[in-house]
Amino acid sequence: MRCKIAILPGDGIGGEIIPESIKVLNKIGLKFEHEFLFDYGNIGGNAIDKMGVPLPTETLKLCEDSDAILFGAVGGPKWDDMNAKYRPEDGILSLRKSMELFANLRPVKIFPALISSSPLKSELIGDVDMVIVRELTGGLYFSQPKKRWVSDGQRYGVDTLGYSESEIDRILRVGFELAKTRRSKLTSADKANVLETDYKASAILIVGVNGTGKTTSAAKLAAYYTNLGKSVMLIGADTYRAAAAEQLRQWSVVANIQFVSNESSGDPSAVLFDGLKSAQAKDIDISLIDTAGRLHTYKNLMAEIGKMHKVVTTKFPDFQLETLLTLDANLGQNSLSQAKKFHEQTSVDGIILTKMDGTAKGGIVFPIYRELGIPVKFIGMGETLDDLIEFNAEDYVQSLIG
Ligand SMILES: Nc1nc2c(ncn2[C@@H]2O[C@H](COP(=O)(O)OP(=O)(O)OP(=O)(O)O)[C@@H](O)[C@H]2O)c(=O)[nH]1
Ligand SMILES: [Mg+2]
């Protein structure tokens, strides 16, 4: 192989490590019969000193015409003037940006011969062999300008971290491709997942047997999430009774919530589909889907709720789907078999235990949690919008032992 390598020693230790690296490359060339042609360019502080800019056009041209770049280091105390027009680091950033060198690979591997020289425990570091993949052209470097101000004698600063879906996508691609050639393992720590902007819209499917409080709970939840500052939509997918959609519509008026349904449609999955499409178009945070009551022993209707669940998972993967089962606290033992059957069809995530404002204690939630692992999420305490509370296990147990 014959290849051209652009040598950019840069600043600081660059001047020391580059000649050593070239020695290594020459040995490799000899041993494996490669021919390396080296050509030198300026970058960073020394480029600012010599040519006024941290990445001169001739350096960029040299890099573009080469097969590889051997890079030393940039920056140093000499150029640490915050008010200077350029910083040496701008050189490497512009180089990355112009050449689309977005992936930053950091191999972490210990060579056996060096283990005893490390201050770290050999039994811990001996097997370490991984590559950390970073994306450096997005994020802080190329984002919105920073802001600094002084208030109450304190200095404040804000740096904005901008990133786009395509940046996350391309760095994941690099990560996966690399993992394929290694042990096929990729551990992703996505920088987006803890941030305010990284959320999925939610679709909450409310299921349960007749009269357990689905419609009322949907309305209560709509009010609950609206109070939390979320945008909410009520979807009336109980197409069996004309009065059902009307009941939900009236709640939507009382609670001032957007409402969609289709009273002329007899297909709840179609209403659900149109409802979520509309929620998507309006960028709604939380869509609450009211469904028809059904006996858990009635196969056809149970298959239908399974189908509705599937419509969300297959046609709306961008929604975080949560299925909530309403259980009437007065119904006792029967609730366990209801929960089982609904769980089979819709993978129930939580229970809304309704009508807890009466004498019922709702002790059935224990076997349901034990057998199916489904937790109670909310408790219905009456018939108005405010009568919904978040379930708190400790308070609940206290009220039982009273
Ligand atoms: N006391 C009390 N009544 C409730 C509660 N939740 C619902 N209800 C009442 O129970 C009745 C049935 O409630 P719905 O919300 O219509 O029940 P549903 O599950 O939608 O009924 P179907 O759609 O017919 O299956 C209504 O009269 C509600 O006011 C609650 O937490 N406490
Ligand atoms: Mg209803």
User: Final residue of a domain: which of 198, 215, 249?
Assistant: 198
Residues 268 and 344 both lie in one domain: yes
Q: How far is the CA of 355 from the centre of ligand 1 (A)?
A: 8
Any domain includes 41: yes
pTM, two decimal places: 0.63
Report whether pLDDT(190) > 70.
no
d(CA 315, CA 319): 9
Q: Are residues 160 and 283 in the same domain?
A: no
Q: Ligand 1 centroid to 202 CA: how many Å?
A: 23
Show which of 69, 101, 133 is a domain's final residue.
101
Instruction: Please give the distance, rounded to the nearest whole angstrom, from the Cα atom of residue 215 to the centre of ligand 1.
Output: 7
Instruction: Supply the pLDDT for residue 259.
Output: 96
Most confident range, picked from 134-148, 168-182, 297-311, 388-402:
297-311
Residue where a domain terminates, one of 173, 198, 223? 198
Q: Which domain holds residue 139?
A: 113-198
- Whole-angstrom distance, CA of residue 218 vs CA of residue 288: 6
* CA-218 nearest atom, ligand 1: 15
Regarding whether 259 and 380 lie in a shared domain, the answer is: yes
Looking at the structure, tell me whether residues 297 and 181 fall in a common domain. Answer: no
pLDDT number for residue 191: 59
For residue 1, give Cα distances in angstroms to 8, 67, 120, 171: 22, 11, 39, 29
pLDDT of residue 196: 61
Q: Distance from the CA of 223 to the center of ligand 2, in angstroms? A: 17
- Which pLDDT belongs to residue 101? 87
Chain-wide mean pLDDT for the chain? 91
Output the CA 280–ligand 2 centroid distance in Å.
24
Domain contains 229: yes
Same domain, 358 and 225: yes
Residue 106 located in a structural domain = no
**39-57 b/e with 16+ CB inside 10 Å = b?**
eebbbbbbbbeeeebbbbe
Torsion 78-84-89-91 (CA) sign: negative
User: What is the spatial distance between Cα 190 and Cα 366, in angstroms, rounded to a whole number?
Assistant: 37
Which ligand does the CA of 209 lie closest to?
1
Between 385 and 397, residue with greater pLDDT: 385
- Ligand nearest the Cα of residue 249 is 2
What's the rounded mean pLDDT across residues 83-92?
Answer: 88
| Domains: count for the chain | 3
User: Ligand 2 mean position to 215 CA, how many Å?
Assistant: 4
What pLDDT does residue 192 have? 57
Residue 108 lies in a domain: no
Residues 205 and 253 in one domain: yes
Whether pLDDT at 1 is above 80 = yes
Residue 309 has pLDDT above 70, yes or no: yes
Q: What is the pLDDT of residue 163?
A: 74
Q: Are residues 191 and 261 in the same domain?
A: no
pLDDT tens for 240-260 read 888 999 999 999 999 999 999
Are residue 125 and residue 246 in the same domain, yes or no?
no
User: What pLDDT score does 189 carry?
Assistant: 61
Atom of ligand 1 nearest to the CA of 208: 19
- The proportion of the chain whose per-residue pLDDT surpasses 70, expressed as a percent, equals 95
Same domain, 36 and 163: no
Specify whether 214 is located in the same domain as 138: no
Task: Answer yes or no: is 314 within a domain.
Answer: yes
So what's the pLDDT on residue 134?
A: 84
Q: Is the pLDDT of residue 157 over 80?
A: yes
Ligand nearest to the CA of 381: 1
* Ligand sitting nearest the alpha carbon of 248: 2
* Strand ranges (E), 214-263: 232-237, 258-261
**Protein residue whose Cα sits closest to atom 26 of ligand 1:** 213
**Residue 107 forms part of a structural domain:** no
**Ligand 1 pocket test target in 210, 215, 250, 254 with most atoms within 8 Å of CB:** 215
Residue nearest to atom 14 of ligand 1 (CA): 213
Question: Does any domain span residue 247?
Answer: yes
CATH number assigned to the domain comprising residue 363: 3.40.50.300
- Which tokens go with 312? 């969300």
